[in-house]
A and B are shown apart, each in its own frame.
Chain A
């Protein structure tokens, strides 16, 4: 399936939900925040948020800043 993740269009194997994408990307879901099509997905909902072809996903985390 095709998703745009952090602004980059990418092809993925079929992913049932957001939790599968987090795992596919090798990320720790406890340390990130995610938007799907500009809407924040609560961490507790990763396992039940279905992904559709063309979804735009933003995955962010804290970094150093002033």
Chain B
């Protein structure tokens, strides 16, 4: 637009390359139509999806895939609701059969209150999944020590929680997030805890490769508008990160020249 040449800013996970750095969830929307519109407004290329039993009492119920279409978005099946490695493997094997995807999101929760990950079980589940041929993006705590263990075990991406899932509280530990970003050779995504656009900006300014969110969009008063806001926030944060921000000063520094004053 300004005539300067930018190389396209893409990121890659497990051999797939994406332009959008915003991954959106598909839960909590009023209906699948609103969900699809929000994913479009977010400019998302990847959406997370969950796997559940079919409702046999009403097989004519609307289905996610009829609105959020797998030929338009890369589906990232999750293991939401799993508390053990075996449950996660079973769920994702079914997901692979349902759609053929081997790129998956692992989340193994510790309890149903704060929803923080059980990292010992997450690491064990990761090893089981990798042995089964999956490419695994791992939801994890913001602990750099466990993040490194996940990477060494073969995680395709490290996805620390900014704050508990659905809490909307933003990044709680910038120091740990920064350490994870610094040490990781695979993509790092903030996953969970984003509340509003500024949280996404801060994640990207910190150097994350992408951001994953669901509730911040779905529970906004106007989800589709918030999806657009998040799209711009992620781009703004990424561009600011690439631009290299100015140094902070203790005192003021005038922007108008001191010389030539009348």
Residues of A within 8 A of B (CB): 5-8, 25-27, 31-35, 38, 40, 42-43, 58-66
Contact = CB atoms under 8 A, between A and B. Distances in A.
B110 to A, nearest CB: 17
Nearest to B213: A66
B98 A33 contact: yes
Given A33-B95, A42-B97, A61 B51 contact: yes
Contact of B56 (A8, A38, A40, A43): A8
Interface of B: 25-29, 32, 35, 48-54, 56, 59-60, 63-65, 75, 77-78, 80, 90, 93-95, 97-99, 165-166, 192, 212-215
5 contacts: A35-B94, A62-B51, A62-B63, A63-B26, A65-B78
A66 B27 CA distance: 6
A66 to B, nearest CB: 3
Contact of A64 (B25, B95, B165, B212): B25
Contacts of B90: 38
Contact of A62 (B65, B93, B166, B212): B65
Contacts of B165: 66
A40 B49 CA distance: 19
Output the residue of B52, B90, B95, B212 with the most chain A CB within 10 A: B52
Nearest to A41: B97
Given A64-B27, A66-B48, A59 B56 contact: yes
Given A59-B54, A60-B51, A60-B94, A65 B59 contact: no
Nearest to B93: A40
